Structure 1
Amino acid sequence: MYFKLLFAIALLCISSVQVQASPQAQTAIKLSFNEDWQFQKSPAHATAFQPEAKAWEKVSLPHTPKLEPLLVNDQWQGIALYQKQFNAPKSWQGQRLYLRFEGAMNHTKVWLNGKAVGEHLGGYLPFSIDISAAVNYGADNQLRVALDNNDNPITGPKPLHLLDFNTYGGLYRDVNLFIKAPLHISDEMLTNLPNRGGLVISSKIDNKAKASVAVQADIRNQGSKTAQFTLKQMLEFDGKAIATTAQSYTLAANSQQVFSQNLTVKQPKLWHPTHPNLYQLQTELWQGNTLLERSSNKVGIREFAFNAKHELLINGEPYFLRGINRHQDYPHVGYATSKQADYRDAIKIKEAGFDYVRLSHYPHSPAFMDAADEVGLVLIDAVLGWQYFSPEPEFAEHVYQSCRDLLRRDRNHASVLAWECSLNETPMPEAFIDNLKAIIQAELPGAMSAGWQTQYDIYLQARQHRMQHYQTPTQPYNVSEYGDWEYYAQNAGLNQQAWADLKDDERTSRQLLGAGEKRLLQQAMNLQEAHNDNLHTPAFADGYWVMFDYNRGYANDLESSGIMSIYRQPKFSYYLFQSQRDPALTSTQYNVGPMVYIASDWQADSSPNVRVFSNADAVELWLNGKLIARQMPDNGANTDKLPHPPFTFHLPSFEAGELSAKAFIGNQLVATHRVRTPQAIHALEISLDTAGVPINSAGSDVLFVNVRLVDANGTTVPVNDKVVSFEVNGAIQVLNPDAIVTEKGVASALVRVHNGAKGVHLKASFAAENTAAPLTAELKF
């Protein structure tokens, strides 16, 4: 085995992390282990570790083994090796030390000071290792991690050359070290028992005037004596204490027990997609006058249920979920993003008018889960699985454990509606499904299951594969995927390698941002038609495939059915969905309210039938200062169920100049949008896409820098494949490994910055045909 070869590699300079002891040595400490790693990788597809170079590369986490090109059809697979040193003060001796990995792809082995301390299979869920006995206290310690992301028949899914998405690699999520007293709140992954470990938090709504929050704390005593302790709970809202409780208990030596407490909440502020109210729960473990541990968790008080008509009730009221599927794929870095980047994705999804996300087809990051709670996105949470089943018992056991671990990680999130412990688009034995459903109930009694077979509590039906698109439902019914495959392949089955009878390119929903106005309008029409049709069914939710363009391991092109590009730039379809949201909604977290958008580039080949998306009652369209018409929304077969159908204006012909749309609710002007006929490229405009989320001030962050080619009027000139160059100074790195080119007039660079990126300077330049010197634009932050 290649793992036996790892320690034959010569040790080179290893950076050391010096950690200061806490002023209260017994108080729990959480240390980020994201910095000061050293890294090497094997040649691609190697199954034994043979380093590419003798020198180690200094890296920080999240990390990917390879910066991939925009089109990833030969993703790096092989053996990745990470190592670091840390100093363990003598004051830690007698404490319990847990090392927790949030995401490591895919087969992981861990050594500390030359001793094997842990092994884990599966790349999407966390695992914890008790390293207390292997630490050298009062000295430096060497940590080494080996990762194998080659195809694995136990974890699945398909081999990468057949897979419809990429799995990437590396230590791509956080690693933390926890130092705790012998008496402590246990780790849910180490406990590995149903409905146990850590904190289990639930809520119950009695009526509008009263609710309760139940806290189940799993306490472990690894000391040699019986421990007396006090467990305190405090629930806060907007910084004010709402409810508190404190109770004293005893726990025998070398034992573990669950202690339950309840808090009463008067006049509760409920969690809902339109108003995601969250309480702050502070859990404290005291021994005498010493605070051993404090845990802080956000709590949403809410209730999901279904009525006899299979409508979803949120806190007793029917609510239809307009939704989307998401792959967490990022250009160049794959999964190795940042908490802030994942939060920005959630903001973009919410601003697009969605209230629901299906996490396809694997567990997404804890940061995205947190963001969903905070901005109001209802989630279907999924284990890894796609078109692959193995009859080997080890495969089933791994799926079962993944289901357990998924619920243990995410059970306290208000946003989770149901658990997709299911292998998507994969025939599964009935006994296998029954076992998964039983695991869900054991881990979280009363929780709902979801899957693409009708044995589950919620039926996830993929209409785009034309499989039982509509029949009288006998259970809650969710149109889990629509709008892509059904407008692409007429055979529309599950075997995407067949690709028989493909639709003409201009008719599909797979359109890149730079595909041109006609094709982007066709994508929007496809989505409008399908979404409107979904609303004729008794489905309680639908989810378009997909939010962002993404890479597929087996394909020679990007999967381009996203309503935003892989660089998170909106297509016309983005505004179609945005127009379906209620204009009366308000939020301090994201942009919302009345909107209007002209879906046209308004140039010589533009259609004179101008489509406008708006959630207003009426829209006026003006051309060069002259009123064309004031219209109500379209009324037709493909619009009858939409909350806000588009507005189509029929102009006699194209006339260069400015189109202006004015949106009205009642007689009040609520929103405007303008487009101008683009002229010659005159300047560059550069911007940093933070989506309102501040740059990470304590670690790395990845963001998009967008450069627009604009004319003298500031109109983006929608040209493709124009090369834009970038120069940087300071703590910033451009991650694009290829030439950076425009798509519809925008060139996007993915950059990594550290610790708030103070003093960073970025300069973009473009050699325009009509200027003697290159056009430039600069960004400082």
Structure 2
Amino acid sequence: MKSITLNRFFLCFIFFISFYISAQNQSERDLTLIDKDWRFSFGHLYDTQKDFNHATSYFSYLTKTGFGDGPAAQNFDDRAWRKLDLPHDWAVEQPFSEKGSFSHGFKTAGKGFPEKSIGWYRKKITIPEADKGRMISLKFDGVFRNSKVFFNGYFLGTEESGYNGFEYDVTAYVNYGGENTIVVRVDASMEEGWFYEGAGIYRHVYLQKTNPIHVAVNGTYITSEIQNKNAEVTARVTIENKGNYKGEIEVIQSILDTEGKQIATVSENITAPDFYKTAHYTSKFKVNNPLLWDLENPNLYRLVTLIKQERKPIDRFETTFGIRTIKFDAEKGLFLNGKPIKLKGTNNHQDHAGIGTALPDELQYYRIKKLKEMGSNAYRCSHHPPTPELLKVCDELGMLVIDETRLMGVNDYHLNNLKRMIERDYNHPSVFCWSVGNEEWNIEGGIVGERITNVMQGFAKSIDPTRPVTVGISSGFKTGISSVVEIMGYNYMGNGDIDAHRNEFRQQPGMGTEEGSTFATRGIYFTDDDKHYQSAYDKKPRPSFYSIEEGWKFYAERPYLAGMFIWTGFDYRGEPTPYGWPSVTSYFGMMDVCGFPKDNVYYLKSWWGKEPVLHIMPHWNWAGMEGKEIDVWVHSNCDEVELFLNKKSLGKKKMELNSHLEWKVKYIPGTLEAIGYKSGKKVLTETKKTTGIAEKIELTADKENASNGNVVVVTVATTDKKGLYVPTSNHEITFSAKGGKILGVGNGNPTSLENDQFIDNVDLVSITNFEEKKLASANTDRIPSEGDNSWKEAFKDRDYKNQAPAYVYRGKFELKNNLKTNTVNFFHKKIGTETVVFVNGNKVVPSTEDNQKYVLNSNVLNQGTNTIQIIATPLQKNKDWDVMNTDPGIIQVITPAESWKRKLFNGFAQIIVQKDGNANEVVLSASANSLNPGTLVISKK
């Protein structure tokens, strides 16, 4: 008896603890990523019927609350839509066309393609009864562009810019304990930039649940001052009350060090803000001997803000920050933590090969890591606010950032966008400068530009006085914007006299916000305009632009210039200067769109990095050019370099600071060897060998990338019989993956018109000419005769109070290709209480998974016109104003994708692979004609 009592006590205790933990968790903040399991379909820019008749109802979503119609309606049938996960960029999935946008890489999306300019997204979620009393919101990191969001048929709002994060409160619209529907309509018909921008929900989406009293959106602001090796940290928190509670709350703010140990805490009781009001609360902390955030040791602290009501935790919010100082000096340049640094930066857009703009978090890490390996220490966001994940990576890896707003102006649209960017990003230690504009040629040199800059600069400083403001300027360096901006941003030294500007504005610090702008195709060493190939040798591209070497020498030799940002770190889609179609990516990058290095990377690595470097260009496979002179360049930071051809010395040369070495070498197959010396001692050796023909496929996963996430970057190459990589291989490789899926493929070829992605094509085919005929009974054994003239337009002038016992309906649908491999489904929408479906005279039965879905086998279908008939007993109206469904449904045609494939370009291609959640490993296989296949096993950590 005693043991039973103890057991009951134990069970009650466990229940109490579980209930307490559950209640505590529900009272605090809950942020859930909801990227999985969305439905997607294209709408249409101006054809409302093709846009699912959205906004055609008598009452629209703007007329009466809750009247979202078409796909915006909660009960809209989206079963035939494509299933996908976010982030998603539908533009990258499209083929190329000369009619496409030059600036957007000639993809068949956006303006000029109305059938691919509107995208609809839908997702269903369940919110439990237990969440009543909490605030429920949807958080979007970014949607390109002009998005309208609905929740359970209720219109939430419009966000025009594709680069802003935004949040909607849906608490009042929630169906607690049941199904809730999120709908997003995206209009990507208009471009914001002159570079590839993608299309769709290309950043993360979250469901957030909080107590009515909580830390507001972007509600913490942390600054620090360092004195005598100690830091005073000031943390301001904005608290919002969306409830009716009146009384005291306790605000506890704590700092955790780099190891997660609490090192300081402050607590105070304050009066809660009034209903739908906010209040600010500021704490000050002393941190002794702080570990500073810098480029080599990016130490990060965390501020934990805890709100208690009646001694119970109701919100907990974490903010990552760093302790560091930034100072610009007009004479001596930039100082980080009191130490001079030179900005070794790159400009970058946000797209990547095969993926477009929908970058997985792991790919953000991969790209910043590649820039760090090159020696870069700074990143300019060109020309818009970045993803939150990019700034997180820059914080963690030690990369300074210029954070840039999209458009200059002084009205709500411009200043509100600037405010949102600053408040979202001002706790990132990586962000050292705000940029409020770039190359605004219409206003740069005049009074309007001066006025706008003064307003935007003052506005930015009113929000965050700790960081300076810059503008990238390219059309003259003396008047207008350049005369008033806090930090002068020089875009290309060929556009003006930088020294003269500095002599006139001696109190104005400056940096090269864009420099370089050279053309290069990876692995190409002879310019061929017919093929749209630009030689990879670093040459002056045109009179007003300078080579990478010329640019770096200019900025490196001037202490008053803080450094430079090269245009660009990576190639990007669009802007294929100096060419046009069929070039679809830029030629400016130090690396191509995959992140494969061009030879300029090694020049920069020599003078930007700290490790010894020795690099020979070009490769040494020049069959047919025997005896002809080849320009051989060596990039190195050694004191001297000696070059050998087949063990014969071609001479030793001394390396000048920030330079490279050149030889003219007559081509003979064999081995080029360079030996680097420091202080007279041999320290490095580098070779380029003539290879044999390619024989084997080699697959290599980025090691750090493979061990730190679910998305892995894989390099594809070929080797000869000696195991040497073949730099001229251009084989087409076919891929497959088990235990994961391929997200995208690329090769860095600026003229490649190959598919970036291979996905099943989903077509929605409407049923047309829909007619009806009355029946005396719903006889389902056979199809009624069609020979009489009693057919009429279905549902037209239907008297719902005097309906026939049954009806037979018929319609047509067209199939362009009735391939054996296609999957054809009929998703029926209920038009009767009991229904029977016939296709081309054949009775079809519903699937077991869904009694309103019919799988149509190829043996019942025709290529061309098909007939569908439905026998149904009619639906009855309960109220006169009930709206009855008159849509029989949609035909879904799924055409399976081709196998994943990509040609190598000058020896390399790239595959982006995502691991399945339940699989222990991913097996990637690659094959090609005349090559031994390759296999790569990627195990889970």
Q: Same fold (TM over 0.5)?
A: yes
Q: Which residue of 2 aligns with 1:3?
A: none
* Deviation for aligned residue 1:230: 3.2
Aligned counterparts, 1:260-409, within 5 A:
260-309=282-331, 311-385=333-407, 396-409=411-424
- TM-fit CA distance, 1:22: 6.6
Distance 1:514 1:308, change over 3 A: closer
Give 3-state SS (helix, strand or coil) of 1:105's partner.
coil
Q: Retained in 1: the 8 A contact 2:355–2:743?
A: no
State the alpha-carbon separation in 1 of the partners of residues 937 and 356 from structure 2: 27
Within-5 A mapping of 1:465-480:
466-473=495-502, 474=505, 475-480=508-513
Indicate how the Cα distance of structure 1 residues 332 and 681 shifts in structure 2: closer, same or farther if over 3 A, else same. closer
The equivalent residue for 1:230 is 251
- How far apart, CA to CA, are the structure 2 residues paired with 1:45 and 1:309? 57
Contact (CA 8 Å) 1:41, 1:65: kept in 2 or not? no
Aligned counterparts of 1:683 and 1:144: Cα–Cα separation in 2: 48
Partner of 2:922: 760
**SS at 1:212 equivalent:** strand
Aligned to 1:742: 904
The residue aligned with 2:13 is: none
Q: Please, which of 427, 432, 443 is the counterpart of residue 412 of structure 1?
A: 427
Match of 2:163 in 1: 124
User: Of 140, 145, 149, which aligns to 1:106?
Assistant: 145
Structure 2 residue 607 is matched with structure 1 residue 580: yes
TM-score (norm: length of structure 2): 0.68
Partner of 1:565: 592
Relative distance call for 1:447 and 1:651 in structure 2 (3 A) is closer
Cα offset for 1:39? 0.7
Identify which of 574, 584, 605 aligns with 1:552: 574
Determine helix, strand or coil for the equivalent of 2:732. coil
- Paired residues of 2:705 and 2:713 also in contact (CA < 8 A): no
Shift, 1:182, TM fit? 1.5
Assess, with a 3 A threshold, how the Cα gap between structure 1 residues 177 and 670 changes in structure 2: closer, same or farther: farther
Q: Using the alignment, how far apart are the partners of 2:467 and 2:50 within structure 1?
A: 43
Q: CA deviation at 1:298?
A: 2.4
Q: Partners in 1 of 2:96 and 2:354 — Cα distance?
A: 6
- Per the TM alignment, residue 667 of structure 1 is displaced from its structure 2 partner at its CA by 6.2
Describe the SS at the equivalent of 2:303. Answer: strand
Counterpart contact for 1:45–1:150, Cα < 8 Å: no
In 1: Cα distance, 2:381 partner to 2:695 partner = 42
Moved more, 675-684 or 292-301: 292-301
Which secondary structure does the structure 1 equivalent of 2:27 belong to? coil
Given that 1:326 and 1:546 are in contact with CA atoms closer than 8 Å, whether structure 2 keeps it comes out as: yes
Q: Deviations over 1:319-372 (max 9, x none)?
A: 211111111112243210111111111111111111111111111111111111
Cα offset, 1:92, TM superposition: 0.7
Give 1:307 deviation, angstroms.
2.5
8 A contact 2:621–2:728 mirrored in 1: no
The verdict on how the C-alpha distance between 1:44 and 1:343 changes in structure 2, with shifts beyond 3 A counting, is farther
Q: CA–CA distance in 2 between the matches of 1:399 and 1:281?
A: 31
Shift of the alpha carbon at 1:244? 2.8
| TM superposition shift of 1:178 | 1.1
Q: 8 Å contact 2:602–2:615 — kept in the other structure?
A: yes
Q: Distance in 1 between matches of 2:210 and 2:230?
A: 36
Contact 2:525–2:618 (CA under 8 A) maintained in structure 1: no
| Cα distance in 1 between the residues matched to 2:668 and 2:730 | 27
- Equivalent position SS for 2:25: coil
SS of alignment partner, residue 328 of structure 1: coil
2:200 aligned with 1:199: no
| CA apart distance, 1:610 | 3.2
Query: Structure 1 stretches of 5 or more lacking a match?
Result: 1-19, 158-162, 189-197, 485-508, 584-592, 769-773
Instruction: In structure 2, list runs of 5 or more residues that go unmatched.
Output: 1-20, 54-77, 98-104, 111-116, 474-480, 528-533, 541-546, 746-754, 757-900
Summarize deviations over 1:568-601 as a string: whole Å, max 9, x none: 1111011111111342xxxxxxxxx333222220
Alignment partners' CA distance in 1, 2:399 and 2:119: 35
The Cα of 1:414 is off from its aligned counterpart by 0.8
Q: Is 2:243 the partner of 1:220? A: no
CA contact (8 A) 1:696 1:754 kept: no
Specify the alignment match of 2:211 in structure 1. 181
In structure 2, relative to structure 1, the CA distance for the partners of 1:482 and 1:363 (3 Å cut) is: same
Which piece of structure 1 moves more, 288-297 or 677-686?
Answer: 288-297
CA distance in 1, matches of 2:636, 2:306: 49
Aligned to 2:764: none
Is 1:115 the counterpart of 2:154? The answer is yes
Distance 1:36 1:230 in 2: 38
State the partner residue of 1:58. 83
Q: Is the 8 A contact 2:151 2:181 kept in 1?
A: yes
1:313–1:652: structure 2 CA closer, same or farther, 3 Å change rule? closer
The amino acid of 2:737's aligned partner reads V
Cα distance change, pair 47–561 in 1 and its aligned pair in 2 (3 A): farther
C-alpha contact 1:41 1:51 (8 A) present in aligned 2: no
CA deviation profile, 1:205-246 (whole Å, cap 9, x unmatched): 113x21121111111223322232232312312333333333
Aligned to 1:170: 200
**Could you tell me which of 595, 600, 615 is aligned with 2:637?**
615
Task: Give 2:156's aligned amino acid.
Answer: V
Deviation sequence 1:41-61 (CA, Å, 0-9, x none) = 125787886269982111111
Find 1:678's aligned residue among 687, 691, 697: 691
C-alpha contact 1:400 1:436 (8 A) present in aligned 2 = yes
Bigger drift between 99-108 and 327-336 goes to: 327-336
Q: Aligned partners of 1:171, 1:405: CA distance in 2, in Å?
A: 19
**C-alpha separation in 2, matches of 1:756 and 1:602:** 46
CA distance in 1, matches of 2:681, 2:313: 58
One-letter amino acid of the counterpart of residue 148, structure 2: K
In the alignment, the residues of structure 2 paired with residue 241 and residue 619 of structure 1 have an alpha-carbon distance, to the nearest angstrom, of 53
Q: CA shift at 1:752, angstroms?
A: 4.3
**Distance in 1 of aligned mates of 2:904 and 2:680:** 40
Structure 1 CA distance, aligned partners of 2:47 and 2:499? Answer: 47
Aligned twin of 1:711: 720
Contact 2:401–2:430 (Cα < 8 Å) also in 1: yes
SS in 2 for 1:104: coil
Residues 472, 118 of structure 1: alpha-carbon distance in 2 compared, 3 angstrom cutoff: closer
CA gap of 1:132–1:668, structure 2 versus 1, over 3 A, is farther
Structure 1 SS opposite 2:603: helix
Q: Which residue of 2 aligns with 1:776?
A: 933
Q: Is the 8 A contact 1:582 1:615 kept in 2?
A: no
Q: Which amino acid aligns with 1:683?
A: K
Query: 2:490 pairs with 458, 461, 464, which one?
Result: 461
| Counterpart Cα distance in 2 of 1:44 and 1:681 | 49
Give yes or no for contact 1:44–1:76 (8 Å, CA) kept in 2: no
Which whole-Å deviations, capped at 9, do the CAs of 1:4-53 have from their partners, x for residues lacking one?
xxxxxxxxxxxxxxxx9776321211111111111111257878862699
C-alpha change, 1:210 and 1:48, in structure 2 (3 Å) is: farther
- Number of residue-to-residue matches in the alignment: 685
Letter in 2 for 1:374: E
Amino acid at match of 2:34: F
Tell me what 2:707 maps to: 694
For the residues of structure 1 that align with 2:48 and 2:266, how far apart are their CA atoms? 55
Q: Deviations over 1:256-300 (max 9, x none)?
A: 211111111111222222332222333322334433233233221
Larger radius of gyration: 2
In the TM superposition, residue 148 of structure 1 has moved relative to its aligned partner by 0.9
Match of 1:25 in 2: 26
Q: 1:79 aligns with which of 118, 122, 127?
A: 118
Equivalent position of 2:130 in the other structure: 91
Distance (whole Å) between structure 2 residues aligned to residue 303 and residue 419 of structure 1: 15
1:250 deviates by 2.7
Displacement of 1:141 in angstroms is 0.8
Is 2:96–2:106's contact at 8 Å kept on the other side of the alignment?
no
Contact kept, 8 Å, 1:75 with 1:166, in 2: the verdict is: no
